[in-house]
Structure 1
Amino acid sequence: MYVSAAARACGTSWGPRPKSTWAGYITWHLRSPSQIGGDIMLRNLPRLSLLLALGIVSAFCSIVVPTLAGCWINELNSMANIMMNEDGTLTGTYKSAVSSVRQQVEGDLIGFQVDIEQPTFGFVVKWTSDSVRGSVTVWTGQMFVINGNDTLMSMWLLRSNSPVDSNWGATRTGTDTFVRC
């Protein structure tokens, strides 16, 4: 059976469909490539025009995936500025409004986003401010839409540089909720 380029792009093969579906309004007749080049014949063109005008047909092929790119602020007013590359890698900066040294600290951010409807993510911040140099924090979580707002729900681990006899207390854990700035 011939499959059109449009059908391949959508990840579907368009063939005869039962009359009980949306495609019952449109009869697809697919010919093999050896039979006049695999033409697609449509009946009931006015209904197809209506579907196209409403954008319903294109919705079968497109899913908008939210992105972590942008400015995010958490409940303690710490701010992440994130850029996302085409392959899902994240880069950016993080400014923490709270720290053990009681001043704002900054760090470089790198991570990954998994492109699904409610993306999961993970990123690491290597702290660059002199007062916390040698510490790293990792976040992992998922993006949700809560009350119409993009929201990142995450857990974090902060590892501070410490001597071996202070190893037990050198890792802290917690949760953060971020919303767009």
Structure 2
Amino acid sequence: MMKPASGILAIALVLGCVGNTAPAQNEVSTDKATTTNTEKVSKTYRLTYTITESDGGKNLGTQHFSLTVNPDSKDAELKMGSRVPIESAAYNTEGPAAHTNVQYQYVDVGLNISARVHEFATGAEVYSKLEQSSVAEAKSTIGSNAPVIRQAMLQNTATLTAGKPVMLGSLDVPGSTRHLDIEVILENIK
């Protein structure tokens, strides 16, 4: 009885070696190696925004904010500040325990920066949006619970070359004598 079993085993081994199993395994591993070597390696950039603030011609200071951006991903964002509650609706309930319910929405105040990069042979096109806002000391004319929000915004697209700073814009802050100069520099980090 040992002879038929060993004969079947020998036939199975021969068929396994002659069949398409071994070459298919080699092709798969070759394909994987080829795919890994030809995959596109995307760059990562660092954008450094420099905001110089002045008041009446006197320099108040300079701040630097850096973001890393990958052209294959969504916008990079930076938010720094507070969330201010603003009353959005009020309604009275009825019945024995009648009271007023108030609903709020929140507004981000402070500095918000978002950026996006598209690569080109001569450099990179950078979309930037910078918003700086604050709650004003002035009172709203529609009620004491409605704050006045002051806002300055710069939104543009510029073509940048790595290592060379570009002035994105200058703006005056509404309701004040303050002035902002905004510059950006692009660096390759990967």
TM-score (norm 2): 0.38
The structure that has the greater radius of gyration is 2
TM-score (norm 1): 0.40
Q: Which has the higher contact order (CA 8 A, sep 6+)?
A: 2
Q: Which has the higher strand share?
A: 2
